[in-house]
């Protein structure tokens, strides 16, 4: 059966916990909300909302799966391979598998983005 997580405002949804992502990696001020994923038994993808505090950044990552990212608020900078790009609300970013990537908040407000990845086992 399908699942609905009702939006409560301020990038918060009913039934969706806020977590730190992931605690063992080198990053600063990052939280994640799994809107659809293992909890809903989604077999093909995970759909997440990340928020990066001002001055924060995600870990410098490289893995086999690709990502689709859509920025919802704030402004930031994304590293894709050896290049960096400024991004802001409404921008869409594709990160191919095995490409080095990292997101930085470059603004004074939270930098938030949706991210979809394949289901990971």
Give this prediction's pTM.
0.93
For residue 1, what pLDDT band results from cuts at 50, 70 and 90? Answer: confident
Residue 33: Cβ-neighbour burial (10 angstroms; 0-12, 13-18, 19+): buried
Residue 2: the pLDDT is 92
Average pLDDT (81-97) is 98
Domain 19-45+54-112 class in CATH: mainly beta
Average pLDDT (85-111) is 98
Alpha-carbon gap, residue 95 to 93, rounded angstroms: 6
Residue 20: the pLDDT is 78
Domain ranges (residues) in the chain: 19-45+54-112
- How far are the Cα atoms of 30, 68, 70, 96 from residue 21, in angstroms, in the given order? 6, 17, 18, 21
Query: How many CA atoms lie within 13 Å of 66's alpha carbon, on the beta-carbon side?
Result: 5
25, 55, 103, 109: CA torsion to nearest 10: 130
Residue 74: the pLDDT is 98
Average pLDDT (84-101) is 98
């Amino acid at each position: 059966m399908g699942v609905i997580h009702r939006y409560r405002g301020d990038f918060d949804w009913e039934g969706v916990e806020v977590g730190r992502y992931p605690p063992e990696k080198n990053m600063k001020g990052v939280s994640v909300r799994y809107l659809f994923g293992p909890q809903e038994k989604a077999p093909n993808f995970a759909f997440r909302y990340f928020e990066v505090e001002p001055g924060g950044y995600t870990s410098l990552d490289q893995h086999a799966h690709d990502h689709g990212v859509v920025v919802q608020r704030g402004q930031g900078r994304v590293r894709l391979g050896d290049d960096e790009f400024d991004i802001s609300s409404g921008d869409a970013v594709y990160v191919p598998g095995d490409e080095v990537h990292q997101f930085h908040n470059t603004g004074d407000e939270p930098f938030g983005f949706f991210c979809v990845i394949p289901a990971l086992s």
